[in-house]
Amino acid sequence: HIDEVLYEMTISISNGAAAVKNFVRDKTYINNLQQVTVQIREHLPVDQSQCVNLRSSNRREDNNDRHITFDKHFPPGTIICFKVSLLQQVQNSIIEIRKNLNEFTDESGASEFQQIINKLTLLDLNRVLYRNSNEEQADGLGIDVYEIPGYGKLVYCGLQGFMSVLEKIRLTNELKHPLCQHLKDGFWCLDYISSRLIKHRGTQAIGQWYEKCFRQLKRLPKHLLPAYFDLIITGSYTVLIEHAWRLMGPFVQKGSTFVRALSMASVILCGLVKDAQLPALSPNLKEPKPIELTDDRTGLKYPLCPTLGAGLPHFAAAVWRNWGRDTFIALRGLMLITGRFDEARYLILGYGQCLRHGLIPNLLGDGRIARYNARDAVWWWLYSIGEYIHMAPHGHEILEDKVSRLYPTHDSQPQPPGLYDQHLYEVIQEALTRHAQSLTYRERGAGYNLDMDMSDEGFNNRIGVDFETGFVYGGNSHNCGTWMDKMGSSAKAGNKGKPGSPRDGSAVELVGLCRATLKWLIKANKEGYYPYDNIKISTSNIH
């Protein structure tokens, strides 16, 4: 809006041709033409200007705005200065946006934004901040990561996807970046941010807050959109990250910047993915139990039981998300040190339900299509139980938790929750007993459809204990049951069906994990938490 003309100045010369012809240059001073008149007018309304004209726009979208035209009344040498201000509706929107921005620094915690985020869990923050393409598509709502024309797809659906781009733009003030241009072209990414959060109960309130804030942002001139978008996203992102740290344990809360940055891996990798869930826990499980949610589309109930993605982006959803080895190698750092004991408990019990052949699944597949081709997963699981007992408040109580066995015998079909319940300590004892008694088995469904690269002999497996050394052993030269599990796949190179590192026999980390497990079990037995002090092998006992 043009408030007024601060000043306008015009130059006129009477009988200009004669004035130029009669001009005599002074030898000492800079002199000018004679008969020159300078007209100066100050502080006048635009419609009283003698230099410009006002005309109404004929376009409906201009909202009755008027345009300034420069014509013959604006000869060379003319100067005009306008005092301008934002339109009133734009000023009002900026005031509202600044009120929203002030909510980020409200130390009283009484602001609407602070009250909203105080109700967010770490699982909610996983959705608000992160989630990659595979995780988001698993919701079945047709949402994917956002794609910026001329730039490409973002890494995350949540705020981190935009933050990673904004941080680079901010450093170089790159206003020609595709994201800045995209914001000026339309409001698609604003609607994306708010609408994907509104679709889920846990994040609905913060999605509505963004929707309200972006409603004001849409009223700003296009050239202001990138700057104010950055202020909103960066400000809210910072507060959300700090909230995540507050929800974690004291090691993170009191930790260094480096420790806190690392702790966010827990939020990134631990989430609720609908097509990669744990087997349903026992209905007889004592509190706390997983919260049950109802799918708005199907009406079916499902437990709020998070899982750990084995790796982004490819091992994040469906059958490829949940791996026993990866989960329990990471459990201590991602779940226990960060103080996420309830989620860690659910993971321990969920995988424990799938014990078969004395082993924890390598590939979980919700327990019903699990693969038992990892000799180390069970030892990482047992070690994690010991760490849970050591680190969680009243951690030893997990040993009394009910575990609903999917496969109470080697040949069982998957059993419904609660039909075959055992205490966790019984499941642990069975895993140790199976190893002590030694066991040879062949993978179910062995063949090309199960593993297109493995040779037939590779589907045969064994586990046991060498009682002369006390070392656990297993596997054969045709399979690879530890973390070094790359199977050769090239017939041309001659390595198809040949593991890169079979490590059959006694792998050193399994021996170490076995010793660490026995150490905490002996301690738990002495303290009265673990009822067994021996392992039964046929008619003799091993102490």
Q: How far is CA 196 from CA 120, 202, 204, in A?
A: 16, 12, 9
* Residue pair 304/350 in contact by the 8 Å Cβ criterion: no
State the Cα–Cα distance between residues 119 and 244, nearest whole angstrom. Answer: 11
Domain ranges of the chain: 2-85, 89-246, 273-542
Angle at alpha carbon of residue 221, lines to 215 and 225, rounded to 5°: 65
State the Cα–Cα distance between residues 159 and 131, nearest whole angstrom. Answer: 10
Beta-carbon count within 10 A of 18 CB: 12
Stated pTM of the model: 0.88
State the Cα–Cα distance between residues 301 and 291, nearest whole angstrom. Answer: 10
pLDDT tens per residue, range 75-88: 888 999 999 988 88
Copy the structure tokens of residue 287: 């509190």
* Residue pair 243/263 in contact by the 8 Å Cβ criterion: no
State the Cα–Cα distance between residues 153 and 94, nearest whole angstrom. Answer: 30
Q: Where are the beta strands (DSSP E) in 409-506?
A: 421-423, 439-442, 460-466, 471-474
Residue whose structure tokens are 């170089």: 172
Beta-carbon count within 10 A of 499 CB: 25
| Among 407, 381, 382, residue whose Cα is nearest residue 325 | 381
Which residues lie below 8 Å from residue 456, measured CB to CB, with a gap of 6+?
446, 447
Residue whose structure tokens are 């017939």: 491
Stretches where the chain sits below pLDDT 70 are: 57-64, 539-543
Give the distance between the most distant pair of CA atoms in the chain. Answer: 132
SS (H, E, C) 381-428: HHHHHHHHHHHCCCHHHHHHCEEECCCCCCCCCCCCCCCCEEEHHHHH
* Mean pLDDT rounded to a whole number for the chain: 93
Residue whose structure tokens are 């509202």: 96
Cis peptide before 149 (omega within 30 of 0): no
| Among 278, 281, 277, residue whose Cα is nearest residue 405 | 281
Which residues lie below 8 Å from residue 17, measured CB to CB, with a gap of 6+?
none
| Among 268, 36, 21, 32, residue whose Cα is nearest residue 155 | 268
* Residue pair 384/516 in contact by the 8 Å Cβ criterion: no
| Among 388, 392, 429, 422, residue whose Cα is nearest residue 407 | 422
Strand partners, 320: none
Angle at alpha carbon of residue 318, lines to 484 and 293, rounded to 5°: 130
Compute, in degrees rounded to 10, the torsion defined by CA atoms 126, 128, 129, 131: 60
Q: Would you tell me the crossing angle of helices 225-246 and 88-102 to the nearest 10 degrees? A: 20
| Among 485, 134, 518, 156, residue whose Cα is nearest residue 326 | 485
State the Cα–Cα distance between residues 368 and 517, nearest whole angstrom. Answer: 27
Which residues lie below 8 Å from residue 20, measured CB to CB, with a gap of 6+?
33
Q: How far is CA 410 from CA 342, 359, 385, 407, 456, in A?
A: 30, 11, 23, 7, 21
Give pLDDT, residue 543. 47
Q: Where are the beta strands (DSSP E) in 304-389?
A: 307-308
Strands 66-70, 52-56: pairing is: antiparallel
From the CA atom positions of the chain, what is the Rg in Å? Answer: 35
Which residues lie below 8 Å from residue 263, measured CB to CB, with a gap of 6+?
244, 245, 248, 252, 255, 337, 338
454: left (phi over 0), alpha (psi -120 to 50) or beta: beta
Which residues lie below 8 Å from residue 371, measured CB to CB, with a gap of 6+?
361, 362, 363, 365, 443, 450
